[in-house]
Amino acid sequence: MTKLNKKDIINALESIAVYLEIKGENSFKVSAYRKAANALERDERPLDKIDDPAKLPGIGKGTATVIQELTTTGESSLLNELRKELPPGLLPLLKLPGLGGKKIGKLYNELDVVDAESLRKACEEKRVQVLPGFGEKTEEKILAALNASGKRPERLPLAVVIPVAEVIIDRLKEMNGIEQFDIAGSFRRTMETVKDLDFIIATDDPTGVGEQLVSMANIAAVSGHGETKISMELQFDDLVVPVDFRLVKKHEFVTTLHHFTGSKEHNVAMRQRAKEKGEKISEYGVEIEETGKIATFDSEKSFFHHFGLHEIPPQVREGKDEITLFEQQDYPFIDVQDIRADLHMHTTWSDGADSIEDMVEACRRLGYEYMAITDHSRYLRVANGLSPDRLKRQHDHIRTLNEQLPDFTIFTGVEMDILPDGTLDYEDDLLKEIDFVIASIHSAFQQNKETIMKRLQTAMENPYVAMVAHPTGRVIGRRDGYPVDMEKLIKMAAETDTILELNANPNRLDLSAEWVKAAQAAGAAIAINTDAHRLDWLRHMSVGVKTGIRGWLKKQTVVNTWSAEKLRKFLQQKR
């Protein structure tokens, strides 16, 4: 049985409401499930502390029964039944602008729309615009959105591809005949977007391994199946990811991995270095031109050492100055083992899926020494933001937990909104009682650069604001963020001792690597945080650290590699 957290159950209730709406059920029934979802969201307790959901205002006996079934069995018979009754192609239509459950229900019941293709046909035949509540402009917008969604992007955001890479890695671990494998390409270099996934596999049985590869689940197409390379497309729902598998001998593995990791510019620079030694690099080894012998290596470290270099991390193989630098010395990059805390996360008190206690235990299991609980402030109502009274109650609870954990520290915190008018969501009298105050922009992205910068300046000049989170507000592949003068922001951060966040969520990676580099050069302090809204997001720390490496980030720049005491002193200086 899959154990569901509170957020999973809220999502299930909302899905039931949408399905009922599509079916055309009466509005009271639909509303009951939405109210139940909202009631659970508003209650700050974790699931295991809510013994009877029916006692919560907004939850009736019927919806309470569904919640209890979801809690005890991990699924809902009602939701399963609704999924069977309705075509699976209807729910993805919710992603289209202007389409909610009610409108999709009209399309389904009156025009027999069952998926994107049948909706496209109905729009092209001008049948949608005559439905009540739609009109010609709505029809045009739907058709434009369908045409845009039908185009496969040339590059996919890293966040979209990570789960696919993890599925493939798990499958390769189970296959027979594979001696060693690794992922290469732009994914290994932690680029923000990737064109495809490249796997290098060492094997003495390319035929047997190849047969297992082309027998995998989720294959949409196989475009090449040779002894040394297999190319295919894997499909997960509406996501299609091109994947290449290169099959090599064990002794060729390291040079093949280096070659296909890239970048192209880095490989050109390495080939030039080899040429100066009278050698030639290929994906199969290093040819010593004088003797014709091929040198191979048991690790990338020994490969780089052969050319008089310290090992160069994949993230900085850009063909710029990395070869010159690594000839002279190693570089003190941040390492995931250096991280001693995560300073940005959310719990069931706002829009997180798990309790404070669960987040604390997870951070302790990761080997952290301290952490901060930073639920949303009151302005963000959609995220069940905390009123001053609720925030105080939460912090009293955290202080009680701290007394029970002599070997671990939980900072009281909050992610506070910088409001559209430039003011902060809480008064200083409240902020001064909080250990770690984050300031963030979540609204009015359309404001001009000057107004946005004034909002950020107000936050940074406040003595109680420790950090600005996800400083540009971007979401990779979906949203550019608000207009920011990054040079000015970095300068203000350094002058006011305000920490800038490298948000490790792979959808954000904000600050980006280029601005991480600039911030470090300007003397600004940086924190790498996951912004976790559920336990499994805490593992995104490694993605954030790799992005930091892309920005040449050093351990000493990152405040959550410091001791809790050193960080407190840093924060106190600003106050």
* Domain covering 336-574 assigned CATH 3.40.250.10 in the classification: no
Tens of pLDDT, residue by residue over 428-441, are: 999 999 999 999 99
Tens of pLDDT, residue by residue over 375-393, are: 999 998 888 999 999 999 9
CATH class of 156-248: alpha beta
Name all contacts of 79-83 with Cβ < 8 Å and 24+ positions apart: 79/12, 79/15, 79/16, 79/19, 82/16, 82/19, 82/20, 82/23, 83/19
Choice among 76-85, 88-97, 178-187, 188-197 with the minimum mean pLDDT: 88-97
Mean pLDDT of the chain: 95
**Strand 156-157 and strand 499-503: pairing?**
unpaired
Q: Which sign, positive or negative, has the C-alpha torsion 154, 155, 156, 157?
A: negative
Greatest extent of the chain over all pairs of C-alpha atoms, in Å: 84
For tokens 């390495």, the residue is 270
Identical fold between 156-248 and 254-328: no
**344 in Cβ contact with 372 (< 8 Å):** yes
**456 in Cβ contact with 492 (< 8 Å):** yes
Q: Which fold, 254-328?
A: Beta Polymerase; domain 3 (3.30.210)
**Domain-by-domain residue ranges, the chain?**
6-149, 156-248, 254-328, 336-574
- Torsion-angle region of residue 467: left (phi > 0), alpha (psi -120 to 50) or beta? beta
Tens of pLDDT, residue by residue over 142-200, are: 998 888 776 778 899 999 999 999 999 999 999 999 999 999 999 999 999 999 999 99
Tens of pLDDT, residue by residue over 297-330, are: 999 999 999 999 999 999 999 999 999 999 978 8
Beta bridge mates, 243? 197, 232
**255 in Cβ contact with 297 (< 8 Å):** yes
Q: How many CB atoms lie within 10 A of CB 176?
A: 9
CATH class of 6-149: mainly alpha
In angstroms, rounded to a whole number, what is the distance separating the alpha carbons of residues 489 and 482? 13
Between helix 27-42 and helix 6-23 the angle, nearest 10°, is 170
In angstroms, rounded to a whole number, what is the distance separating the alpha carbons of residues 282 and 270? 11
pLDDT for position 1: 64
Q: What's the token pair of residue 538?
A: 């805490």
Tens of pLDDT, residue by residue over 473-518, are: 999 998 999 999 999 999 999 999 999 999 999 999 999 999 999 9
In angstroms, rounded to a whole number, what is the distance separating the alpha carbons of residues 51 and 223? 54
- Kindly state the DSSP code that residue 519 receives in the 8-state scheme: H
In angstroms, rounded to a whole number, what is the distance separating the alpha carbons of residues 370 and 68? 35
